[in-house]
């Protein structure tokens, strides 16, 4: 049976990582992989996580299954983190389950949407995270795109986005990035979110909001503004969230999928379908990462420490944006790269050609995706001069 298979190309980002590891240039820079790195280029374990892990090791007394919904404490704490003091929680219209990472949450959401309507259409931004299309199509959904990023002007194509969303069918789903848009870094402002919510109300499509980077943009509450606004007006809605970035729990693969229904009774029915979807995919979610997150969020001391560590990561990323722009100017680059400072989160399009991206890799050992999407966290004081000089030469 295997003989009929044909090899598929490697994921572009994973392929870049392999090339980077094999590169012997001492000045090499990895701007491809989407993980947070500190000034030393290391993805360290947060101190609050280390404390939570010690607590878990000292108190865990069983490895029995925790059930398909996951830990009730984790689910409750994640619901509060996502929504704050929101009416959907007060009205008991939200149900949260833990999932194997944010990707697991998205696949569960996709299979759930298929259960609601076989062959349903989901609209994603152009561009969007590369894995969105693959996982939605693998679940049997039809994927279409709406305009989002204007590559020529390095800004949001909001008029195009709004016009497209007005033409979406009422029984379609629309994927929206809550904050720190991957891969463009270009987010909706509060006024634009208000307009999108009005369109969603008028059209009646199902909002599916992906929040992989809460706290990496402006702040935990600020980054959830659009999501919470949408939840105020949407009768039904799905939220997929991840603890990989803001807790640094990349290996633990813990995320959450939250569904909102029109009534408490309606969302109970929806949850029963969601649990069936989970049962036939992975049956039970992992427990370790969820235990760490709930330990941190349930402790005033650890939660305060986490807020401080999260702010440090956020400030470093935002500082790197300004640092790169300043260094490009210092190296005589006359092209305007100030758009980088107006974006949020881990990523940005540098806005150079695929040929120039390849030249940076071949001649200077600087690795980024062919679209010129770069991970801002890979920039450091120790490499930014070399990076800026190399970009200047290529330009």
Please give the pLDDT value at position 146. 98
- 129 catalytic per annotation: yes
What digits encode the pLDDT tens for the residues 117-164? 999 999 999 999 999 999 999 999 999 999 999 999 999 999 999 999
What digits encode the pLDDT tens for the residues 53-70? 999 999 999 999 999 999
Angle among Cα 140, 145, 146 to the nearest 5 degrees reads 145
Q: Is the pLDDT of residue 10 over 80?
A: no
- 201 catalytic per annotation: no
The DSSP element (H or E) to which 156 belongs, if any, is strand 155-156
363-390 as b/e: b if 16+ CB within 10 A: ebbbbbbebbbbbbbbbbeebbebbbbb
Write down the residue that tokens 């704490």 correspond to.
77
Tokens coding 142: 């039809």
Write down the residue that tokens 């100017």 correspond to.
329
Average pLDDT over residues 48-57: 97
Q: Which of 210, 223, 306, 327 is catalytic?
A: 210
What digits encode the pLDDT tens for the residues 191-222? 999 999 999 999 999 999 999 999 999 999 99
Q: Could you give all domains of the chain from N- to C-terminal order, each with its CATH number?
A: 10-45+302-394 (3.90.1150.10), 65-298 (3.40.640.10)
Q: Which of 37, 154, 245, 327 is catalytic?
A: 245
CA atoms within 13 A on the CB side of 221: 3
Q: Which of 28, 37, 129, 193 is catalytic?
A: 129
The residue ranking higher by pLDDT, 367 or 12, is 367
Place 357 in a pLDDT band, splitting at 50, 70 and 90.
very high
Predicted model pTM: 0.96
- Residues 66/208, Cβ–Cβ less than 8 Å: no
Radius of gyration of the chain (CA): 21
């Amino acid at each position: 049976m295997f003989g009929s298979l044909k090899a598929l190309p490697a994921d572009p980002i994973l392929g870049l990582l392999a090339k980077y590891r094999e590169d012997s240039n001492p000045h090499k820079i990895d701007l491809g992989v989407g993980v947070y790195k500190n000034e030393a280029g290391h993805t360290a374990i947060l101190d609050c996580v280390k404390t939570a892990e010690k607590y878990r090791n000292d108190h865990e007394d069983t490895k029995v299954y925790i059930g398909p919904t996951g830990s009730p404490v984790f689910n409750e704490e994640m619901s509060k983190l996502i929504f704050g003091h929101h009416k959907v929680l007060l009205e008991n219209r939200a149900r949260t389950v833990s999932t194997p990472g944010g990707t697991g949450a998205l696949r569960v959401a996709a299979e759930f949407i298929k259960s609601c309507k076989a062959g349903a259409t989901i609209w994603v931004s152009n561009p969007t995270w590369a894995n969105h299309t693959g996982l939605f199509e693998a679940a049997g959904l039809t994927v279409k795109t709406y305009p989002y990023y204007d590559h020529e002007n390095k800004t949001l194509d909001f008029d195009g986005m709004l016009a497209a969303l007005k033409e979406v069918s009422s029984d379609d789903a629309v994927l929206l990035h809550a904050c720190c848009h991957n891969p463009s870094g270009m987010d909706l402002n509060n006024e634009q979110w208000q307009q999108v919510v009005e369109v969603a109300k008028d059209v009646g499509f199902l909002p599916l909001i992906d929040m992989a980077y809460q706290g990496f943009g402006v702040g935990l509450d600020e980054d959830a503004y659009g999501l919470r606004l949408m939840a105020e007006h949407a009768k039904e809605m799905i939220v997929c969230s991840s603890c990989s970035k803001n807790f640094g729990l990349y290996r633990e693969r813990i995320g959450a999928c939250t569904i909102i229904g029109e009534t408490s009774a309606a969302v109970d029915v929806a949850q029963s379908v969601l649990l069936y979807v989970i049962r036939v995919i992975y049956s039970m979610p992992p427990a370790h990462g969820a235990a760490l997150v709930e330990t941190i969020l349930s402790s005033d001391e650890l939660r305060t420490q986490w807020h401080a560590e999260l702010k440090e990561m956020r400030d470093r990323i935002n500082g790197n944006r300004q640092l790169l722009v300043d260094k490009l100017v210092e190296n005589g680059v006359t092209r305007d790269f100030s758009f980088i400072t107006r974006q949020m989160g881990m990523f940005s399009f540098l806005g150079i050609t695929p040929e120039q991206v390849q030249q940076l890799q071949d001649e200077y050992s600087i690795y980024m995706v062919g679209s010129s999407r770069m991970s801002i966290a890979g920039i450091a004081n120790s490499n930014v001069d070399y990076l800026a000089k190399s970009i200047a030469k290529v330009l």
